Chains A and B, each alone.
Chain A
């Protein structure tokens, strides 16, 4: 409890004791009124002053105003009736304050719980100075300095292991419980926990640029992007409160006037009491507090499972996903290519690989890397000139004075070379040297072990259309799609074609349904941002993917997509439960209040009780292990 809450608790206890004491002290008339008024002020002065300043500053219809009017009204009624029963006004204020205190405590508590769960922030870094370890703030560690990470400590800054080997617990980042082995020369990502051995690490990034800071920043700012449900609630509250106030006013005035007109008794105080009850019931805080809390808990739960959702709005869209479009490479397949064969070559294998590896020297594409690996020798940049990348088709360059073209059959056709088609399954890189066909390299990608299961799980999670896009040859694409059970395949696409294809698919989807695009975060930023929701996989350490995507999967397991969708469904389910429950109970109680069946005590339940239940329900969104 913070100071404010403690003061509130003291005021509540004091006024409760005073109220009980007053019941035993026989004071009457003016003295009695003054005594009760004093207790009322102890418990409610802040509400009255807030209501007053609210009116002064033009913020008339808020909760404080409702409570002030209700309780002052109840006092006025008691004076008017000469009943001397001021308990009700004080009790209403008392319970309202108890509710507010609970709300502030419960929300503060769950906020801290959620933040703690996501707390991967390292507290310190160990720097070695003259043979002894010194603890410093991670943000003071400069790039290139050597830090020591001991067993049980968090890796504070991204870096490379220069000495030692150990296992790392990456579960805070990826949700993956299997430890990862690292040794000399391996990259270390901040936020992991070192389990077994001492590691000496040379840092490669500043703390502010390290993975852990990026992730924390992302998660902390996630709930500031508001979802439609949240917008709905804030708009609702804006209309709702004035509407209820007017309703209460009408309830207090119309029936008595009508009764007078009909020649009956006005019964002003009965209707005034009902109107006041109506006001107490109507406080909208259960809704206003529980909806953002549910989203916050949902985002927290997802990040515990290794799924970073960048905002409540994305969580909401994710729950509507009916179409999932995969970019094949790096999502369903490993994106690790291997050279499987060299066919129809006019030169020996090594020479073809050497020339191709040099021509592709500037490319970061996985295919280029695999050719370089298969070549095995050192690629000498100075032997290469005039490199022209022909987007999606291949590359043309001058190597040792020879013009070397590497790429697909389209590239060959544009160069006027007739390629020899291949019967093997895989990506075919044709090579032409000085305008003469020189053979082709067969490269194939490996399907991830979980891909088939992931597709099945997606269907179970309610996705009815699974599409695969790829720049690869049609035959490769079809064989992968068939083995995984994918509905539609579009192959041999250039990066720009992928955007067009996704746009077409978006145009054809039914309203209220969303299309998710899953990419590996390399070269697909435009598509990621064009889709209703962009999911980047295996993004640990890749800044570009974290920037471009709406949902980031920390590891590269495609099963997580189905899990992410289920988490979002659960969270949205809770949001709707709370909206319907809170509005439903309020409406019923408002009706009962208007009919005179509900008294102030029920009114207090409708306000505080509903809020408590909604907050507890919201916390459920945090628990996602079993999904």
Chain B
């Protein structure tokens, strides 16, 4: 299952960091962060609870880039 989220991030390198952090989060199969369109496409693992996973994703992203935002 794939879903696209609007995000807010200031620099391309930070977007890259968010992508890596999201990929490492449990329940995420794959993730692409697009800095230019300020979008994050997340592919969830089968049977994952989307909202719970996204909460962890946001926490993981905040750890690497403190003032990023994901509109869940």
Contact = CB atoms under 8 A, between A and B. Distances in A.
Interface of A: 4, 46, 49-50, 53, 57, 59, 62, 100, 103-104, 111, 114-115, 220-221, 223-224, 234, 237, 284-285, 288-289, 291-293, 296
B12 A292 contact: yes
Contact of A53 (B16, B37, B66): B66
A285 B11 contact: yes
Ranked 8 nearest A-B pairs via Cβ: A296-B36, A224-B32, A224-B34, A288-B13, A223-B36, A57-B63, A220-B37, A292-B12
A49 B39 CA distance: 26
Given A115-B37, A292-B35, A293-B36, A57 B64 contact: yes
Most buried by B among A224, A234, A288, A296: A224
Nearest to B10: A104
A293 B15 CA distance: 13
B61 to A, nearest CB: 11
Interface string B15-27: 0110000000000
A237 B12 CA distance: 11
Interface string B34-46: 1111110100000
Contacts of A57: 63-64
Contacts of A285: 11, 13
7 contacts: A111-B37, A115-B37, A220-B39, A221-B32, A234-B16, A237-B13, A292-B36
A59 B17 contact: yes
B12 A223 contact: no
Contacts of A111: 36-38
A59 B14 CA distance: 11
B69 to A, nearest CB: 10
Contacts of A49: 66
Contacts of A289: 11-12
Contacts of B10: 100, 104
B66 A223 contact: no
Contacts of B67: 4, 46, 50
A139 to B, nearest CB: 15
Given A220-B39, A224-B32, A234 B13 contact: yes
B34 A223 contact: yes
A80 B6 CA distance: 48
A59 B13 contact: no
Interface of B: 10-13, 16-17, 32-39, 41, 63-64, 66-67
A292 B9 CA distance: 14
Contacts, number: 50
A224 B36 CA distance: 9
Contacts of A220: 34, 37, 39
B41 A221 contact: yes
Nearest to A234: B16
B31 to A, nearest CB: 10
Contacts of A224: 32-34, 41
Nearest to B15: A292
A62 B14 CA distance: 10
A111 B66 CA distance: 22
A288 B11 CA distance: 8
B53 to A, nearest CB: 20
Contacts of B33: 224
Most buried by A among B13, B38, B64: B13
A190 B49 CA distance: 36
Nearest to A295: B36
Contacts of A234: 13, 16
Given A111-B38, A221-B41, 13 more contacts: A4-B67, A46-B67, A53-B66, A104-B10, A220-B34, A221-B32, A221-B34, A223-B36, A223-B37, A234-B16, A237-B13, A284-B13, A291-B12
Contacts of B12: 288-289, 291-292
Nearest to A230: B12
Contacts of B32: 221, 224
B9 to A, nearest CB: 10
A270 B52 CA distance: 54
A298 to B, nearest CB: 11
A237 B39 CA distance: 23
A291 B16 CA distance: 14
A220 B41 CA distance: 11
A440 B63 CA distance: 74
Contacts of B66: 49-50, 53
Nearest to A100: B10
A57 B12 CA distance: 19
Contacts of A4: 67
Contacts of A293: 36
A57 B64 CA distance: 7
B15 to A, nearest CB: 9
A115 B66 CA distance: 27
Nearest to B64: A59
B10 to A, nearest CB: 6
A234 B39 CA distance: 19
A592 B64 CA distance: 33
A343 to B, nearest CB: 56
A53 B63 CA distance: 8
A284 B36 CA distance: 18
A46 B67 CA distance: 10
A515 B49 CA distance: 44
Most buried by A among B12, B16, B32, B38: B12
A114 B35 CA distance: 13
A462 to B, nearest CB: 28
A261 to B, nearest CB: 40
A57 B59 CA distance: 12
Nearest to A115: B37
A127 to B, nearest CB: 27
Contacts of B63: 57
A224 to B, nearest CB: 4
Contacts of A284: 13
A111 B35 CA distance: 10
Nearest to A296: B36
A50 B67 CA distance: 9
A313 to B, nearest CB: 13
Contacts of A221: 32, 34, 41
B70 to A, nearest CB: 15
